[in-house]
Amino acid sequence: MRYEYTVTKEGGETEEMKAMSWKKLVKSLLLKYDKFSGWCTYMNKKGHLQVKAFKDGKIVHESKRDRQSDTSSSGSGE
């Protein structure tokens, strides 16, 4: 297999899974654990650590707007 993924459940249990791509890992993970909640970490081909979160079998996306609104104040500039 090309990549090794560390799958961590919400309870803290970790498991190593191997897959050829991210999409294939997601498919095999959701077949194994139907309503998976936790996160997966792996090193991409450029050597950067990637972390993806799941909740109830769905990938949790953090939008850029949510990240920017936490650090800056919204207002008219007065």
Q: Which residue has the higher pLDDT, 23 or 77?
A: 23
Average pLDDT over residues 60-77: 63
Higher-confidence position of 56 and 72: 56
C-alpha distances out from residue 57 to 13, 38, 47, 60, 72, Å: 17, 9, 27, 9, 32
pTM tops 0.75: no
Interval 38-44 mean pLDDT: 93
Residue pair 25/19 in contact by the 8 Å Cβ criterion: yes
Residue 9 has pLDDT above 90, yes or no: yes
Kindly report the length of the chain.
Answer: 78
Terminal Cα distance for the chain, rounded: 56
